[in-house]
Amino acid sequence: MGILSCVSGKLTHNLSVEIKTQVNRHIFWITIFGRCKAYGYLDKESKNFYIGTDSLISTKDNNEYIATSSYRNRHRLIKNYGIPTNNYIKLKKDVKCRSAVAAARYVVGATVDLDLWKDASGRTLYDIYPEIFFR
| Per-residue pLDDT reduced to its tens digit, 54-101 | 999 999 999 999 989 999 999 999 999 999 999 999 999 999 999 999
| Structural domain containing residue 61 | 5-128
Is residue 135 assigned to a domain? no
Strand positions, DSSP E, the chain:
5-7, 10-12, 18-20, 28-32, 36-42, 49-51, 56-58, 82-85, 88-91, 95-97
Within a domain: 80: yes
The tally of domains found in the chain comes to 1
Mean pLDDT of the chain: 87
Q: Which percentage of the chain shows pLDDT scores above 90? A: 80
Q: Classify residue 134: in a domain, yes or no.
A: no
Residue 1 has pLDDT above 50, yes or no: no
Residue 133 belongs to a domain? no
What integer pLDDT is reported at residue 20 of this predicted model?
A: 52
Q: Tell me whether residue 57 is in a domain.
A: yes
